[in-house]
Structure 1
Amino acid sequence: MKTNLYDKDYCLWLEETIQVLREGRLTELDISNLIEEIEDMGISQKKAVKSNSRILLMHLLKWKYQPTKRSKSWKSSIIEHRKRIRDSFEDSPSLKVYFANNFDLCYQDARELAAAETGLSIDEFPIESPFFEQDTLKPDYFPE
């Protein structure tokens, strides 16, 4: 398989790589690009969990600290990002550990995002998360 196909036509490279794998012609594989793609897939999954966690936590902060401004849009975003995280966990259960290990970092990012979106000072939001990580993923959890 030609290595330069990866740079010229990514989709065709994928199709040909799949075909080569199915046929067991392993010596024809573009190993270096295949390894890179597999590594990128794991990184992408982790980035998605982190991004969805930040947005979920930001909306939970807004929900908790601006109760008079609660909207269907905020509620919808909370539900949507919970579902995305849970879907990631269904596909890759090991991401639960990644979620737990990065929860505090995502919360700190969410504080910044919530401050930017609400116009409130970042100091309005506690330094330590007011949410337990297991609660944030419960379908009926909306902090008061």
Structure 2
Amino acid sequence: MKLGHFNGINLDNLIEELEAMGKSHKRELKSRLAILLMHLLRWKYQSTKLTNSWLETIREQRLQLLLQLEDSPSLKALLEEEFEQWYQYARKEAARETKLSLDTFPESCPFTREAVLDSDFLPK
């Protein structure tokens, strides 16, 4: 469709499509954040089992999160709003995957939002 030719647009369909795209972007952001947080927790609390694949997962999730935030800056607010909620999910998944007690992982995220997205940050 060329600029200026709006007569053939079904506005209801367009709105529905835009809303679906927005939901998809939000889901992807949440999923990538949860995976990243879970791997950072595993890195910090299961350091005897560190693997290159964990490091690659951390790098890939960070890259994709940063690209998504660059493409859709409005998602930054969602990241801020739901960070702790997704940390709680990641905490439970980290406990399940590592078979460590949930109490091993702090109730509040031990990493700042900035550190989570920082390509040079790895927990000690």
- On whether the aligned pair clears a TM of 0.5, the verdict is yes
1:30 and 2:10 aligned: yes
Q: Root-mean-square deviation (CA), in Å? A: 1.2
Q: Distance in 1 between matches of 2:7 and 2:75?
A: 32
Q: Deviations over 1:81-130 (max 9, x none)?
A: 00011001110122112111111011001011111111112121111111
Q: Give the alignment of 1:100-139 within 5 angstroms.
A: 100-139=80-119
TM-superposed CA distance for 1:38, in Å, is 0.5
1:99 and 2:100 aligned: no
Match of 1:53 in 2: 33
TM-superposed CA distance for 1:23, in Å, is 6.0
Q: Which amino acid aligns with 1:27?
A: N
Match of 1:63 in 2: 43
Q: Distance in 2 between matches of 1:137 and 1:23?
A: 37
Q: Distance in 2 between matches of 1:92 and 1:31?
A: 22
Match of 1:7 in 2: none
Show structure 1 runs of 4+ deviating over 4 A.
none
Q: Percent identity between the aligned chains?
A: 46
Q: Distance in 1 between matches of 2:79 and 2:94?
A: 20
Give the gaps of 5 or more residues in structure 2.
Answer: none
TM-superposed CA distance for 1:56, in Å, is 0.2
Partner-residue secondary structure (3-state), 2:43: helix
1:72 and 2:52 aligned: yes
Match of 1:39 in 2: 19
Structure of greater relative contact order (alpha carbons < 8 Å, 6+ residues apart): 2
Q: Distance in 2 between matches of 1:67 and 1:25?
A: 59
* Structure-2 change in CA distance of 1:37 and 1:73 (3 Å): same
Give the gaps of 5 or more residues in structure 1.
Answer: 1-18
Q: Deviations over 1:43-88 (max 9, x none)?
A: 1111111110000000000000000001001000000000011001
